[in-house]
Amino acid sequence: MPALAADTFATPAKYAAALADFLASDPRAQPYVGYRAPSLEHAAEHLRGFQALIFDEGWSRLGWPESAGGLGGDPRFRAAMFQTLWDLDFQIPEPFTTLEILVPVLLVFAPHLADELLPGLLRGDDTWAQAFSEPDAGSDLASLRTRLEPDGDGFRLYGQKVWSTFGHLSRRSVLLARSGGPGHKGLTMVLVDLDQDGADVRPIRAQDGENHFSEIFLDGAYVPRERVIGELGQGWAVAMYMLQWERGAWGWLQQGRFHKRLEQMLAWAPTDERHSASIGHAYTLAAALRLHTRDTVERLAREESLGPEVSIDKLLLIDAETATWNTVREHLGGRLETDPDFHWLFSEYMFSRAAPIYGGSLEIQRTLVAQRVLGMPRD
């Protein structure tokens, strides 16, 4: 293990420069440069090697606490790592996006789980999903019906989850279930093993032919008491804390993708005046997302507790993602749909169509900003 630590680099920028030098010079990193996955399953298998490489060399451990297997430092180091990977055309392994959403929650509400399980997640030896939405409870999580029932020293889960990203590739899932009465006060968050009797994970084939999402059917899946995240009945508060990472930190990670794809698009096809306005529009929205989410990461690094204003991050993400992929499709013309070399890019385009829905719908985010940020009346 190299002698890296939080104080090895004076700033995240110096860390990013050193990481870039390592990735450019170490031959073990070269199979991952410009990698284009033929499928999500192939990507998960191939990129596990990349996760192990940058973990074993210490690079992905910066920005996580030492108690949980990290090397210290704040979230700005993780943000710098993501930006460096995008800049150098490395595909970011999907588990890193889940890490950015779930692990900060564990550090606050279940540090014993973070200390035990974070190293395996960072290295790629373990994979997790997030299971909140249900067939009758999407944006309205307070109406979810999956039950968490006491059983000896633990609990049993009964119900169904849907739209769990990469659920069929995950060993465990952070899950929100009902442990008490109706409404948000009766919810509890837990970590459940998916490779057990009573848990059935079924992939959902999307229009691009990929298995982005899964359904999870629960019929008595067991949850030990120590896998409760927070306290019984505290699930809503834990979920609200999670949102600042799901919308802010996720937005920063994605803006790097948008900038890289626009840059590549200009290299793949010549430009003309017909596309200049849409290209400029997409770059402007991606830059707005970058600037705003950079500020969010800075606030998270200062351990500020962000409130409903993180819905602005999600709204900017929706605009930037939609504009970026509309521009890519317009600029490349029919090549996006017909060129076999662009199958991976077409898959990204198709996934972008869900931007106004995933992680909180466009309409819900606008309502939150109007009422809880701007103070506008409900009527």
Would you say residue 220 has pLDDT above 90? Answer: yes
Of the candidate ranges 209-223, 318-332, 360-374, the one whose mean pLDDT is the lowest: 360-374
Strand, helix or coil at 141? helix
Residues 6+ apart with CB under 8 A from 276: none
Q: Using an 8 Å Cβ cutoff, are 112 and 226 in contact? A: yes
Position 140 confidence tier, pLDDT thresholds 50, 70, 90: confident
Convert the pLDDT of each residue in 303-346 to its tens digit.
Answer: 998 888 999 999 999 999 999 999 999 999 889 999 999 989 99
Convert the pLDDT of each residue in 236-267 to its tens digit.
Answer: 999 999 988 888 788 999 999 999 999 999 99
Specify the fold of 129-233.
Butyryl-CoA Dehydrogenase, subunit A; domain 2 (2.40.110)
Token digits of residue 14: 């110096």
d(CA 14, CA 8): 9
CA atoms within a 13 Å half-sphere pointing along the CA-CB vector of 46: 18
Architecture of domain 236-373: Up-down Bundle (1.20)
Would you say residue 358 has pLDDT above 70? Answer: yes
d(CA 321, CA 323): 6
d(CA 198, CA 157): 8
CA atoms within a 13 Å half-sphere pointing along the CA-CB vector of 290: 15
- Is 246 an annotated catalytic residue? yes
Q: Using an 8 Å Cβ cutoff, are 258 and 325 in contact? A: no
Compute the average pLDDT of residues 30-58: 95
Q: Using an 8 Å Cβ cutoff, are 216 and 161 in contact? A: yes
Catalytic pick among 94, 246, 298, 363: 246
Cα distances (Å, whole numbers) of residue 220 to 29, 151, 175, 182, 190: 43, 10, 14, 21, 14
Burial of 7 (0-12, 13-18, 19+ CB in 10 A): exposed
Specify the fold of 6-126.
Butyryl-Coa Dehydrogenase, subunit A; domain 1 (1.10.540)
Compute the average pLDDT of residues 70-92: 96
d(CA 207, CA 353): 11
Position 33 confidence tier, pLDDT thresholds 50, 70, 90: very high
Strand, helix or coil at 379? coil
Main-chain phi, psi angles of 320, to 5 degrees? -70, -40
Distance of CA 272 to the CA centre of its chain: 35
What is the reported pLDDT for 3? Answer: 59
The full set of domain ranges for the chain reads: 6-126, 129-233, 236-373
What is the reported pLDDT for 6? Answer: 65
